[in-house]
Amino acid sequence: MQIPYVTDKLLLADVSSAYGGTLDFELKQVPSSQCDSDDVVMVRAGLRLAFDTPYNPRVDCTSYSVVLHESGGWQRNSMEGPLAIRAELLTVLSNLEALRIRGLFDGWPNIVGLDNVVLNGGPGAP
């Protein structure tokens, strides 16, 4: 069973000014045995973009900076899907309905922490 963290509804709207910027956050997880899956997911009207972080969280705070650009490694539907294109990123960012950061990396029991979630605007905003 995978339980993602979900953003507050106040953050979900037109965030297209973040295109070319980053989504920054910190995670920690105990125990440290883990499996791979979609780590960050953005959704708008049935379009799902997924991102697989290069490494899973450790028992101390692990910092992530996910680039919100088509060159950043976003994939359509899942981490096995095709690479997302610019138009798909802009479509999702223009009316973000869900932003999920994965919070379960193995089975139960575990302790997970999410902190310092920041959406940074980018120079490539439309």
Query: What pTM value is reported for the model?
Result: 0.84
Helix (H), strand (E) at residue 90:
helix 86-94
Q: Which residues have a Cβ under 8 Å from the Cβ of 25 and sit 6 or more positions away?
A: 63, 64, 101, 114, 115, 116, 117, 118
Nearest to 64 by CA among 10, 3, 116, 13: 116
pLDDT per residue of the chain (126 residues) written in tens, 0 to 9: 344 555 555 566 888 999 999 999 998 887 656 667 788 999 998 899 999 998 888 888 899 999 999 999 999 998 899 999 999 999 999 999 888 888 766 666 667 778 888 888 888 555
Per-residue pLDDT at 34:
64
